[in-house]
Structure 1
Amino acid sequence: MSTTEWASRPTGKPTIAGRIEARLRHDILHGTLAPGSRLSLDKLRAELDVGLSPLREAVTRLVSEGLVDVAPQRGYRVTPISIANFTEVGALRAELEPFALRRSIANGGLDWETGVMAALYRVNHTQRDAADPRSRAEWEAANNAFHLALIAGCDMPLLLRTHAMLVAFNDRYRNIYSEAVTVQRDVVEEHTAIAEAAVARRADEAADILKLHIARSVEILIDLIKKTHPDAPDT
C-alpha cells in the first residue's frame, strides 16, 4: 500500500470489505470521488459489484478515518476540503512530526540511522516531473517514506498512526491540486540537513529544520492554490 495512505493497515489477504475500502480511499485521496460529493451505496454496490454488507463496513471505516462524513437523513458524502482544513493538517504535522523525531533521535539505534540515510538517498535520487503523474507519484512515495523513516524510532504506535493519517490528508490536497505543485526551493538540501542533524543526534537542530520544512511546504501549496484556484473553499 502506498505511503500516501494509512501506514498501519492489516496485512495478509484482504477481505472484500478491505478491498472496497482501499479502492474508495484511493479514489477519495486522488480526487476521483470529488470532495463533498454524495456516496450512494446503491450506486457503489452496482458499480463495484459487491454486497451491501461489506460495502457498509468499508464506508464505516472511512468515516472513522475522516475521509467520509455521515449525517442523519442525508447519508454519506466525501469529506469536503478547504484551505482552513489543510492549514490545520499542516499545523498538526508541524507539531507532531518534530516531537516524534526527537523521540526517534533519543531511542533509535544503528538500524534507525541506516533507515534514515537510505530513505534520504532514495528521495534525493528520485526525479519529480510536475507534468508526469507517474513521476510525481514516485517522488511523493519516496518523500513520505523519508519522513516516516525519520520518526520510525519514536516507539509510539498511536503517534505513527496519527502521522500516517495526516500525511494522507496532506497528500489529498497535493493530488487534487497536483497541477499547482511545483518545486519552489532546494528540497534536496532541506532533506539532507534534516537527516544529517538527526543521525548526528542534534535533536534541537533537526526538529527546528523539520518544522520549518513542513510549514514552508504548507505555505507554498496554499499560495499556489489561491493563485491557481481562486474559487477554492476557505472554510
Structure 2
Amino acid sequence: MDSIVHQPVSSETLVDVVEGRLREDVINGVWEPGARLAVEDLRQRYATGATPIREALSRLYAEGLVAMVHNRGFRVPLMSLEDLLDISRTRAAIEMAAVQHAVEFGDGRWEDAMHSAFSILERRAQQTFSGDTERLAYHDAHHAFHAALLSGCRVPRLMALQARLELQHSRYYRRLPFGIVTGPARLLEHRRLFDLALARNAPAAGAAVAEHVMLTANYVQAKNFKDLTGTEI
C-alpha cells in the first residue's frame, strides 16, 4: 500500500487561509467598529504565528477592511452614514458599467452561470424565509449571483475595483435586520436583474443594478442613522 506523504503548508497558503478567515470575521461583525485587532489576540483565535497575522492585516488594510492607527496598530474601521453613502455611490457607478459590459460581452457560459446562480439564490431565499437555513448561506448565494451577473465583464481593472467596494459594502449590508435584507421583494429585484441581463438590455440592467446597490444606504439614511459605531443598524 502506498504511503501518503503530507506536504507542509507553505507560508503563503497559511497567510491566505488567515486572510480569508479574518476577512469574513470583519465583514460579519465579529468585532465592533473601532475595536483593536491585537496580533496576540488574533494568534490565539486563528492558532497561528504572528507573521501570517501581520501579513493578513496588511492585505486587509489595502482592501479598506482594516484601519491602521499610527503607533497604535490595526483596528476595525469605524462605520458612518457618510462612509456608507460614499462606498455605495462609488460601487453603484462601477457596477453599472461592469453589468453593461457583461451584458454586451457575456457568452453562453455567462448565461449558464446566471441561470445556475439565480436558481440557488431562489432556493436559499425560500429556505431562509421558512427558517430552514442560516443567514450566511443566503449571503453566500447572494454574492454568487452578483458574481455570476458580472462574470461576463471583460474589464479586469473595473472588476478589481468592484470586488474591493463590494467587500467594504458588505460590512454594512450584513448588519441590517435580516427581514429587510431578504424579504420577498428583494428576490423579485434579483429576478428583475436576471431578466434584464438575459434580455441583453444593457442600459436597463445597468440602471437596475445601480439602484439595487443603493438600497442599503437609502434604508439607513431613511432611518436617520448618523453614527453606526457599535450599533445594530
TM-score band by shorter chain is 0.7 to 0.9
- Between the aligned partners of 1:206 and 1:111, the Cα distance in structure 2 is 19
**Amino acid in structure 1 at the alignment position of 2:134:** S
Q: 2:17 aligns with which of 15, 19, 22?
A: 19
Displacement of 1:53 in angstroms is 2.0
Displacement of 1:104 in angstroms is 0.9
Q: 1:122 to 1:47 in 2, by over 3 A?
A: closer
Contact 1:103 1:154 in 2 (8 A): yes
With structure 1 as the length reference, what TM-score do the two structures score?
Answer: 0.80
- Superposed, 1:1-235 pairs within 5 Å as 15-126=13-124, 127=126, 129=128, 134-178=133-177, 181-183=180-182, 186-223=185-222, 226=225, 232-233=228-229
SS at match of 2:134: helix
- Deviation track 1:89-141 (CA, whole Å, cap 9, x = no partner) reads 21122111111111111111111122122222222232264796953222222
SS at match of 1:39: coil
Q: 1:171 to 1:131 in 2, by over 3 A?
A: farther
Sequence identity (%): 28
Q: Which runs of 5+ in 1 are unaligned?
A: 1-11
Q: Which runs of 5+ in 2 are unaligned?
A: 1-9
Structure possessing the higher radius of gyration over alpha carbons: 2
Superposed CA RMSD in Å reads 2.9
- Deviation track 1:171-220 (CA, whole Å, cap 9, x = no partner) reads 21233344573556622322222222212211112222222222234312
- Between the aligned partners of 2:144 and 2:227, the Cα distance in structure 1 is 32
The count of corresponding residues between Structure 1 and Structure 2 is 220
Contact 2:81 2:217 in 1 (8 A): no
Q: 1:215 to 1:83 in 2, by over 3 A?
A: same
- Between the aligned partners of 2:211 and 2:45, the Cα distance in structure 1 is 44
Contact 1:130 1:179 in 2 (8 A): no
With structure 2 as the length reference, what TM-score do the two structures score?
Answer: 0.81
Q: 1:153 to 1:179 in 2, by over 3 A?
A: closer
